[in-house]
Amino acid sequence: MDLKEYLQSLSKENLISLLMDLSDSNAAVKKYLTEKQNSLQTQPVQNIMSSVTTDALCNQTNFINRQSSPQEKINLFKTLFSGRQDVFALRWFNAKSNKSGYSPVCGNKWLSGKCDLKKYSCTTCPYKLPVALSDNYFYNHLAGKDEFCRDVIGLYPLMEGNLCKFLAMDFDAHAPKAQMSITSSHANGAIATYSHAQKDPISWKEDILAIQKSFSDFGINSYLEISRSGNGGHLWIFFEETISSRLARNLGSAIIKAAMQKRHSISFESFDRFFPNQDEIPKGGYGNLIALPLQGKAVKEGHSVFV
């Protein structure tokens, strides 16, 4: 059994316990893992998870700059933000209702006798014909030339085999909960409304920086993106190889708990969800999507960028 298999065999509680026991010192983490690795007769590791590394990423990004060709930039973008390629979503906007959302790109969209949005959801439609994610869509996303941002890519991070290539953590700046009502559209198509009560607004910036510090304490690099709205942020962790969604999400949960142990004054209520948002692909669905960063129009407004 190698280190990756050992970590995958741990339950969420055992993984959290492991991180808590070692949270005082990153040097202690490396010492423990080196000893564990030697006992398993495998090669030494440098981080809490062998899959969480930036060596390959750094080697690749050193060759990409402002003078790089559009194709080179697209190739790097695809390498980092890797999810399902056989299906993806685009943002839609209704000028009359001023509403927006995301729906899977389908070859039978709006075709008479096949596309009946009143009768079927896109994921359950018997005539669904998913369109593969191509470089042209990446270019349109990064260029951001559509006035209503209908070129924003919604990526499904949960891949076949319940694997993922990154973990993203979503933080939102909510209004005071006493005045807030949230309508949430779930992966299965259900819509639910939640009401809460709280006196003060939730500060996402303090929360996300505390989580980023917790990742850093364990030798894991994370990257902070300002959301498209500017009222929240995403914290991204990139894996060198695909790992199980369950393991990635357990890692995120453990890091949050480690941060809460050190920062008792922070509520972390701005944390909304992980992407992937499920351990396994839901039956008849694709799982929750995430809007990819660096969308051209949002970037011009100082949003959807890494800081």
**Residue 280: band (very low, low, confident or very high) from pLDDT cuts 50, 70, 90:** very high
Q: Please give the pLDDT value at position 189.
A: 41
Q: Please give the pLDDT value at position 207.
A: 94
**130-152 pLDDT tens trace:** 999 999 999 999 999 999 999 99
Q: Please give the pLDDT value at position 10.
A: 64
CATH value of 3-300 in 3.30.930.10, 1.10.1060.10, 3.90.920.20, 3.40.50.150: 3.90.920.20
Most trustworthy range by pLDDT among 10-24, 167-181, 258-272: 258-272
Q: Please give the pLDDT value at position 19.
A: 56
The domain spans of the chain are 3-300
Instruction: Quote the tokens at residue 73.
Output: 């930039």
Q: What's the mean per-residue pLDDT of the chain?
A: 80
**Residue 78: band (very low, low, confident or very high) from pLDDT cuts 50, 70, 90:** very high
**106-122 pLDDT tens trace:** 999 989 999 998 888 89
Comparison of pLDDT for 219 and 40, the residue scoring more: 219
**243-263 pLDDT tens trace:** 999 999 999 999 999 999 998
* φ, ψ (nearest 5 deg) of residue 184: -120, 130
**Residue 164: band (very low, low, confident or very high) from pLDDT cuts 50, 70, 90:** very high
Share of the chain above pLDDT 90, in %: 59
**184-240 pLDDT tens trace:** 344 444 443 334 334 345 589 999 999 999 999 999 999 999 999 889 999 999 999
**263-273 pLDDT tens trace:** 887 888 999 99
Q: Please give the pLDDT value at position 218.
A: 94
